[in-house]
Amino acid sequence: MQLDDVIPWGRTLQEYRAMFSLSKADLSLSILGCGDGPASFNAEMTELGHSVVSIDPIYHFSAEQIEQRVRATYETVVSQVRQNSDRYVWQNFLNADQLGQARLGAMETFLRDYETGKAAGRYLNQALPSLTFDDQQFELCLCSHLLFLYSEQRSLQFHIASIHELLRVATEVRIFPLIKLNGQPSPYVEPVINSLPDQWFSIQIKTVAYEFQKGGNQMLQISRRAIAE
């Protein structure tokens, strides 16, 4: 993987809680964060005594390389948001600059935790659609701003294989948002749902209390059904 290919921006625990409607009980589950990048979710959860393993191909790189890449993309991302500001809901952030500062703050929290977390096996260099974990190793998997968002860049086949893999390693999977980068609904949500047998999975689309991209306030929640004895 080339670090130049990705825009590694990351969100906070507070944002993860809102995007995925995480209850206090959810926070105590064993969690896999898929594509967490430089989000501060893992660092903040660990500080609170919770259990999170994050995977992302950028964890191949050093703290310095990740920080350089985030800072190199900063102006491009902030100016794109500024130019398209009517595509966003300005409720939690006043403007593009404040958003940028919040993202840098999350990255700094992540970077302070990165080397310790890597040594503890909390930041693993792995990538969808194929992971090395055991079947049902995690109780909950969270995947934000990767699947569905990059529907123009990743195929339907990649989405289906990735989501089946996440359901292999976790009992429940939540994915946010269900729209593309341009704010249009992802065409892959329906075919992904149709690829999951009803008798094995309970599937819901839920509206959540987080909306920054206009229309991006829904998550897909898929749980493995308990098999009757």
Ligand X SMILES: C[S@@+](CC[C@H](N)C(=O)[O-])C[C@H]1O[C@@H](n2cnc3c(N)ncnc32)[C@H](O)[C@@H]1O
Which residues contribute to the site for ligand X (CB under 6 A)?
Answer: 6-11, 34-37, 39, 56-58, 127-128, 144-146
> Do residues 31 and 141 lie in contact, with contact meaning Cβ atoms separated by under 8 Å?
yes
* 2/91 with CB nearer ligand X: 2
* 140/198 with CB nearer ligand X: 140
- SS3 assignment, position 102: helix
> Do residues 47 and 27 lie in contact, with contact meaning Cβ atoms separated by under 8 Å?
no
Instruction: Provide, rounded to whole angstroms, the least separation between the CB of residue 186 and ligand X.
Output: 15
Classify residue 73 as exposed, middle or buried by CB count within 10 Å of its CB (0-12, 13-18, 19+). middle
Give the phi and the psi of residue 11 in degrees, each rounded to 5: -110, 175
* 57/117 with CB nearer ligand X: 57
Single-letter residue type at 163: I
Instruction: Provide, rounded to whole angstroms, the least separation between the CB of residue 9 and ligand X.
Output: 5
* 17/229 with CB nearer ligand X: 17
Return the CA Rg of the chain.
Answer: 17
- SS3 assignment, position 33: strand
Instruction: Provide, rounded to whole angstroms, the least separation between the CB of residue 58 and ligand X.
Output: 4
* 209/227 with CB nearer ligand X: 209
- The rounded distance, in Å, linking the Cα atoms of 171 and 140 is 6
- The rounded distance, in Å, linking the Cα atoms of 84 and 36 is 25
Instruction: Provide, rounded to whole angstroms, the least separation between the CB of residue 227 and ligand X.
Output: 29
Cβ-closest position to ligand X: 37
- Residue found under tokens 């990048």: 37
